[in-house]
Amino acid sequence: MSPADDYSVLASSPAAAAILTALVTSGPQSRVSLARKLGLSSAAVTKSARPLIDAGYLSELDATERTGPGAGRPASPLTVRADREFFLGVKLTGDELIGVVCDLTAKIRAVSHRPLRSSAVVDVLAEITAMTGELLDGPGNYRERTRRLGLAVSGDVDRASGLVRYSPFLRWRNVLLGKLAAAATGLVVTVENDVKALTTAEHWFGEGAGADSFALVTVGQGIGCGLVVNGRPVSGSHGVAGEIGHISVDAAGPQCHCGSRGCVEAIAGTSYIVAAAGTSTIDEAVAQARAGDPRVTAVFARAGEAIGLGIAAVANLVGPAHIVVSGEGLSAYDLFEPHIRSGFERQAFGAAADCPLSIRPLPFEEWARGAAAVSIQSRLVPLA
């Protein structure tokens, strides 16, 4: 049975979808444990799990535990057959595509990089199509078990419609990327803001797994933030919740591409740092700061403080239990860190200042994995 043939297994049974989601995100569990976790009877779990086993999504492990005191035979935990279905994920940057093939548990099975010679929509679609073929028809024979593609794009994205309203680094406005990519590749396509996609991966499979509330802040070309509250991602009515990069922390600060002044991103984004440092690349700016150049060191100090103020705003407004800081800009985190923490501690109100910050450097392959994670989530929880 192919993934295209068995969609009804999940679509017709919310309990089956909930069981598969729990096993995908939390690993092998007994039927009794699943019943407790999901608020179902053991009989309901057994009934709903059977079609998933028959369709090849689940299998039973050797018996390892008893179901309770005085119980009979030990329970046989259910586990996901991760290679039952595969998902493509592609992260779009201003000059490159990074693609991955992931299994049902978001483990990366294959990786591809393709340069973008142009950010024109037609050229980007051609490269996405070429990358899709390269990944699906290469070693691993993934095509037969792959029908979904996730795309992660910076900027203002409407996940429900696949519309990229605005992507500053691609210089796109109102591009129906989901519809265009589906027509070009023949796959079911999801499109999500790249930071929110990375947050989905961390919430389901990473640092935030099992957390009721947390925030993911990314530092790099842009400054982004993904939020999870009450166990669910927060997008807001217009899909732009968490855009801390466009919180103004200095009314007299530099002009931001959004039209405002003194935004966190206009002070701490990679392009601003390079311009303020008077260097050609961020690597040159980092090298000069580490060599002790006081002018460039001050640029990083100001950037770190702006990021800290932005993170404090998140802590004050949302009150997450945990904040993860990531992004390609973390290669210079030693230059940012004391200023991020001082800005955060100065601005965070009351107990919000106690919110732990953890640093998690993630390469762009993980952002592509985030795109695949959104596709997995859409498969299991269509309305998530």
Of residues 20 and 212, more confidently modeled:
20
Contact 170, 94 (CB under 8 A): yes
> Is the pLDDT score of 273 beyond 90?
yes
Which runs of E-coded beta strand occur in the chain?
Answer: 58-60, 78-80, 86-92, 96-102, 108-115, 146-153, 156-158, 163-167, 172-175, 188-193, 214-219, 223-229, 232-233, 323-326, 357-359
Could you give phi then psi for residue 314, rounded to 5 degrees?
-65, -45
**Is pLDDT of 319 > 90?**
no
Residue 237 has pLDDT above 70, yes or no: no
Mean pLDDT of 277-285: 93
Task: Give pLDDT tens digits for 133-144.
Answer: 999 998 888 999
CA 348-349-350 angle, 5° bins: 120
Ranking 90-104, 159-173, 309-323, 347-361 by mean pLDDT, the lowest is 347-361
The pTM assigned to this predicted structure is 0.86
Q: What are 232's strand-pairing partners?
A: 229
Tell me the mean pLDDT in the region 23-40: 92
pLDDT at 63: 72
Is pLDDT of 33 > 70?
Answer: yes
| pLDDT the model gives residue 257 | 85
The residue whose two tokens read 């029908």 is 147
- Which helix (H) or strand (E) segment holds residue 297: the answer is helix 294-318
Write the DSSP symbol of residue 283: H
**Distance between CA atoms of 84 and 147, rounded to whole angstroms?**
12
Per-residue pLDDT at 72 exceeds 80: no
| Residue 355 Cα distances to 192, 322, 324, 349, 360, angstroms | 27, 6, 10, 11, 16
Give the tens place of pLDDT for each residue, 148-200. 999 999 988 999 999 999 998 899 999 999 999 999 999 999 999 999 999 99
* Other Cβ atoms closer than 10 A to 321: 13
- First-residue to last-residue Cα distance in the chain: 26
Region of 262 on the Ramachandran plot (φ > 0 left; ψ -120 to 50 alpha; else beta): left
Residue 383 has pLDDT above 60, yes or no: no
Backbone phi, psi, residue 36, to 5°:
-65, -45
What are the structural domains of the chain?
Answer: 7-83 (1.10.10.10), 85-199+366-380 (3.30.420.40), 209-359 (3.30.420.40)
* Pairwise CA distance, residues 30 & 77, whole Å: 4
- Identify the residue with better confidence: 331 or 143: 143
Q: Are 270 and 220 in contact (CB under 8 A)?
A: yes
In which band, very low, low, confident or very high, does the pLDDT at 67 lie, cut at 50, 70 and 90?
Answer: very low
What letter does residue 70 receive in the DSSP assignment? Answer: T
Among 269, 281, 270, residue whose Cα is nearest residue 310: 269
212-236, pLDDT tens digit by residue? 888 999 988 888 899 988 888 887 6
